[in-house]
Amino acid sequence: MSKQFEFSRRSLVKCGVQVPIISAAAGLLAACGDGEEKVALCADPNSLSFGENSIRQANKYTEATTDPENDCLNCAFFTPEPPDANGEIPNCGHCSIFEGLASKNGYCESWSTKDTGQG
Piece of 15-23, 24-32, 44-52, 107-115 that binds ligand SF4 (CB under 6 A) = 107-115
Contacting residue, 54, 77, 100, 105, with ligand SF4 by CB under 6 A: 77
- For the CB of residue 1, give the shortest distance to ligand SF4 in the complex, in Å: 33
How far apart are alpha carbons 70 and 86 in whole angstroms?
25
Residue 89 contacts residue 83 (beta carbons within 8 Å)? yes
**Residues 27-66: x where in contact with ligand SF4 by CB under 6 A, - otherwise, as a string:** ----------------------------------x-----
Which lies closer to ligand SF4 via its Cβ, residue 18 or residue 110?
110
Q: Determine the Cα–Cα distance for residues 10 and 112; give it in Å rounded to an integer.
A: 31
- Please tell me whether residue 72 binds ligand SF4 under the rule CB under 6 A: yes
